[in-house]
Chain A
Amino acid sequence: MEKVRSHLMLCAGTGCVASGTAKVKTALEQELAKKGLAEEIKIVLTGCNGYCAEGPVMAVYPEEIFYQKVTPEEVPMLVEEHFLKGRPYQKLMFREPEKKAAIPGMKDIPFFKHQVLRVLRNKGLIDPEKIEEYIARDGYQAAAKALTEMTPEEIIKTVKDSGLRGRGGAGFSTGLKWEFASKVPSEIKFMLCNGDEGDPGAFMDRSVMEADPHSVIEGMVIGARAIGAHHGYIYVRAEYPLAVKRLRMAIDQATEAGLLGKNILGSGFDFELDIYLGAGAFVCGEETALMRSIEGKRGMPRPRPPFPAVKGLWDKPSVLNNVETLAQIAPIILNGSAWYRSLGTEKSAGTKVFALTGAVNNVGLVEVPMGIPLRTIIYDIGGGIKKGKKFKSVQLGGPSGGCIPEHLLDIPVTYEDIVATGAIVGSGGMVVMDDGTCMVGTAKFFLEFTADESCGKCTPCRVGTKILLDMLTDITEGKGKESDIATLEDLSRDIITTSLCGLGQTAPNPVLSTLRYFKHEYESHIHQKWCRAGVCRNLTTFWIDEKLCKACGACLRACPSKAVVGEKKVPHKIIQELCVHCRTCFDTCKFNSIRILPAGFDGDPNEFLAKTAVGAKEEK
């Protein structure tokens, strides 16, 4: 047996692959061979490590040194310094933003330190393409237990008692769902997995499918046993090629090893699993639409009841669970429901994975116990707002969710608390926005998405989202009307109450939540023709405060339309006729000397700004 003294866990998730994992791997192989270390140091390609912003990332064991932004050019030095001479290579080590000292160990990095891994238990620790590595980390032990030691009723009771709720967005009790389907008598039933992740900015499910495909398969085997299904599909979008490849490989390996197919582990239980590729329509994430899509029909939802547990795929009783939900199952079966409940809150048990993106320093995938305050996720794990800017809002739940303002950041992340704010936990997309974000524009962005993705079957959603979008577009272009705010609110409620499926029922949420917390922005857009964030081009006048201008020339050089004039030691000015309102000067200025005023502003800027400053009473 060859002795290997060190493992280099090189991330091969989609993010790091895009940043150059393949080239780094080749360079590492060549360099290790050159130094005669190829036999004793093993390179392992892992699934998404979660720290995507700084990819390609690599963790070195046993020392637990974490390297980021590894390039082929740095590899020779890295190999010589660390793997030959044993001196961790400072240059590529993690540094806390704003701090100079390099932090060596994974356990010392705040991004990793605050996380609790259950769903992502194998992330960065196993090679997802080798079933043996999954088995070595207790893989398929839970399936063995469920198939040979437990009755379907016991499995359902354990999952029900664990308090696990669907991680796809709706948060329905997984155990109850299984119980409903188990009680419907039928020769044929289906166990399905929803991998049709589609929220903008969300990539939790993709990462799980890529990093640990067997955890999803094992969850499905256990679920199939619980409800009495012998066939299953994983519905995954074709835009996830790496996830599809790894799932295919995992299904083949599991079938060959007798962990799928006939007589699994000699238990007499049969379960066959297949993959169905979706074409990427957002509505196909809705369960009835997803099932129609697998049937080969156009993916459109149908009214419920009957619920899929009674009449699902091909009118047979079916259970559809989200990827992350299924990945939680094996540890629950192995460790029991009390263990699962040891984290989280009474109604929101366990952990949840979030895709943390936007204006935070540490963009990536994080798994935290439910009940943790939003502030901890954004400031401790996320490392705060990029470039020292001010926090404005965090968007949770994608197009079905809403924007949460600063004063609510201390609420715990649970299904109920988040819903009370007007957002939803959803599938776990968490987009952080700084003060350079226009909230009307944010609502418009999500409505563009839902109006585009509406399947068109029911009128409120098909026409309603379009009208909402048109009104929002008008407001951002300076054509907003006095009555718009009331109309937006009324129409939003109509769409919510009359739409057929979850897409329409939640599509107005981004409008309602921004109206709830950022109404003043709508009002200044409509009344004053003023986009305070400087995003809506028709609603801005950029003005340089000569008292603050240091005449450094930065904005002058950056301006694409040469609208800034001035020279050294002469405060700069903006020629309004030439200005294209791109905000480049504002973002470039280091001295905070550029102000954003309403469109066509004519008057004393200082007086106007003093009157409308934050804290000052707004003019009605």
Chain B
Amino acid sequence: MPKLTIADLQKIKEKYKADFTLREGGYTVKIIVHMGTCGIAAGARNIMTAVMEEIAKVNRNDIIVTTSGCAGLCAKEPLATVELANQPPVRYSDLTDEKIREIFREHVLGGKPVEKYALVTGCETTY
């Protein structure tokens, strides 16, 4: 490591921000991929991978991804829920790789829920 300057301290802090957003909170978007047995069988794993790739592409520190169990709608899996700060969560169903990437662009980044894929707004629990 080269000798640091005071400006470098700040840069390191910025660089690690994503890690500490995870550990300390302060995120603005939470994407939940439902990964019960039904979800996994329907391809939730690919949905998760797609989400992770999209986040890596935009290099945003304030988006977190978590998994949750079966949402009770096994026929409509894979499901994912997008929660933007101060907005009701939106649950999407029958997802595919393309659909989730579109949702990511429109809803997560653009702030507009993608109505054609949306199943419900609001949620019985937001884990």
Contacts and interface: CB of A to CB of B under 8 A. Distances in A.
Interface of A: 1-7, 9, 36, 39-40, 61-63, 83-87, 125, 131-133, 135-141, 144, 148, 253, 256-259, 265-266
Interface residues of B, number: 41
A148 B7 CA distance: 13
Contact of B35 (A63, A86, A148, A256): A86
Nearest to A35: B45
Given A7-B22, A85-B69, A136 B36 contact: no
A87 B68 CA distance: 6
Given A86-B35, A259-B4, A266-B5, A5 B69 contact: no
Nearest to B26: A62
Contacts of B9: 135, 139-141, 144, 265
Contact of B4 (A36, A86, A265): A265
Nearest to A82: B67
B29 to A, nearest CB: 12
20 contacts: A2-B56, A5-B52, A5-B64, A6-B66, A7-B23, A62-B27, A63-B127, A84-B40, A86-B33, A86-B67, A125-B23, A135-B9, A136-B17, A138-B13, A139-B9, A144-B9, A256-B1, A258-B3, A259-B4, A266-B6
A77 to B, nearest CB: 14
A265 B16 contact: no
A603 to B, nearest CB: 66
Q: Which of B32, B55, B59 neighbours the largest number of chain A CB atoms within 10 Å of its CB?
A: B55
Nearest to A266: B5
Nearest to B70: A85
B25 A62 contact: yes
A63 B126 CA distance: 12
Nearest to B35: A85
Interface in B1-50: 1-6, 9, 12-13, 15-20, 22-25, 27, 32-37, 40, 45, 48
Given A3-B52, A62-B23, A136-B12, 11 more contacts: A2-B56, A3-B55, A61-B22, A63-B66, A86-B66, A125-B24, A135-B16, A138-B13, A144-B6, A144-B9, A253-B1
A193 B16 CA distance: 30
B16 A9 contact: no
B53 to A, nearest CB: 8
A86 B33 CA distance: 9
A618 to B, nearest CB: 57
Nearest to B10: A141
A254 to B, nearest CB: 10
A85 B64 CA distance: 16
B65 interface: yes
Interface in B81-106: none
Given A86-B66, A257-B1, A265 B22 contact: no
Contacts of A4: 18-19, 22
Contact of B13 (A36, A135, A257): A135
Contacts of A2: 56
A257 B2 CA distance: 6
A141 B5 CA distance: 11
Contacts of B23: 7, 9, 61-62, 125
A256 B8 CA distance: 14
Given A5-B66, A136-B13, A265 B6 contact: yes
Contacts of B3: 257-258, 266
B45 A6 contact: no
